[in-house]
Amino acid sequence: MNDADFLTKPFEDLDGEGRRKIAQHFQSNAYPKGFKWNWKDVHHNRVALVNYVLRKLPMDCAYLEIGCGGNDLFDALPISDKTGVDPVKGGTVRLTSDDFFDTNSKKFDFIWIDGLHEYTQVHRDLINALACLKPGGWIALHDLMPTNWKQEHMPRMHLGWTGDVWKVAMEIAATQGLDFRLVLIDHGVGLLQVDPGAEPLADMESELLNERFGWLYENIDRLPLAEWDEAVAWIDSRAPS
């Protein structure tokens, strides 16, 4: 392998030597602390959460998924009106999320965001999702909770990569009128509804763009973390009576 190849190739295309090199290259970004959550010990996952919310919606609800991959979630939802957007595989639409939203005119009851795990991209995806969400609808975002600096690192250097999507969670939490919980399951699933008169999504790029895992670790109390039972009770409280 050329000495620079490991910095230009996609992480998933690197062999063992390349992955060792990229870990060594970015070792100066290491952060010594981490969160203790072990997602394998939490038996609820994104499929359970999304299906729980869908039970609160009409049977003919419209569902949008951004980032489908192997369709693990998309195929597990027992509804008929499903749109899945992925430029590579899975879903029903072979486009990037930006290209899809540029021409989309449909409104959705539930939108799942799990595309490119980069802060600025997910910020755009969320703004676009908010614009096509029906009143009373829900938006969920995956991979908001890295447990260590390697999972969070930009660029990617870990198989279980979450990227820096957590920065969008900070923006949601700072936005008046977005009722938000970060559910402690499955690498962190954010779930929100929009209250009447909600403000536009906060833009914290100037504060967060260059921050890394250590900033998240030191500021975790800014986020409305919820265990499964707490999240379910909150969802029930938001459902129409």
CA distances from 77 to 17, 32, 57, 62, 98 (A): 39, 39, 13, 12, 24
The pLDDT of residue 58 is: 95
pLDDT tens sequence across 213-227: 999 999 999 999 999
The pLDDT of residue 6 is: 75
Does 192 have pLDDT greater than 60? Answer: yes
CATH no., domain 44-238: 3.40.50.150
Instruction: Please provide the size of the chain in residues.
Output: 241
Does 89 have pLDDT greater than 80? Answer: yes
CA distances from 110 to 56, 83, 179, 192 (A): 11, 11, 15, 10
Does 3 have pLDDT greater than 60? Answer: no
The pLDDT of residue 2 is: 56
pLDDT band of residue 157 (cuts 50, 70, 90) is: confident
Q: What share of the chain is helix, strand, coil (3-state, %, to 5)?
A: 40, 15, 45
Four-CA torsion 12, 13, 15, 16, nearest 10 degrees: -20
The pLDDT of residue 159 is: 85
Tokens of residue 131, six digits: 């614009």
Please state, rounded to an integer, the average pLDDT across all residues of the chain: 95
The pLDDT of residue 188 is: 99
Q: Where are the domains of the chain?
A: 44-238
